[in-house]
Amino acid sequence: MTTAKKIVASALAASLAMGIAVPASAAVYNAGNLRAEIAQLDSQINRAEARRTISHREAQQLDRQVDRLQDTFRAYARGGFTRYELASLNNGIAQVRSQLRDQRWDGNNRADAGRYNRYDTVRHR
């Protein structure tokens, strides 16, 4: 094999290896993991409401979104999951998780709601 062919062959092998490695390094969408994450999210919402870190209304809204995720999961599971469907469920879970985090910290159901804290600006005259 000539030197030029060796260089081309090694470059081709490297590009193929890179092409195979990229999807493997991406997030793995596993249907079983997604089902467990949805169940865990439902538990976290219930726990946050019980601890009064979110209001009942906020919990109801988040529960409805989790119910929609569960319904979507069941609908997708009937025909088998496509990559798009798994990614869609994963994005939905991330969205609800983010909203739960935001609702926990918005302060409208805590005992100190409405009081000033060190980050608020108060004008003294």
For the chain, domain boundaries: 38-106
Looking at 1-125, list the stretches that DSSP marks H as alpha helix, in order from N- to C-terminal side. Answer: 3-25, 31-50, 56-79, 83-104
C-alpha 77/C-alpha 124 separation (Å) is 60
pLDDT of residue 106: 79
- How close are the terminal C-alpha atoms of the chain, in Å? 87
Report yes or no: 65 and 93 within 8 Å, Cβ to Cβ: no
Task: Dig out the tokens for 61 from the structure.
Answer: 């809204």
Q: What is the pLDDT along the chain (125 residues), one digit of tens a residue?
A: 566 555 645 655 555 454 444 333 234 567 888 999 999 999 999 999 999 999 999 999 999 999 999 999 999 999 889 999 999 999 999 999 999 999 988 776 555 555 555 555 555 55
Task: Look up tokens 């100190």; give the residue.
Answer: 112
Cα(21)–Cα(116) distance, integer angstroms: 51
pTM greater than 0.85: no
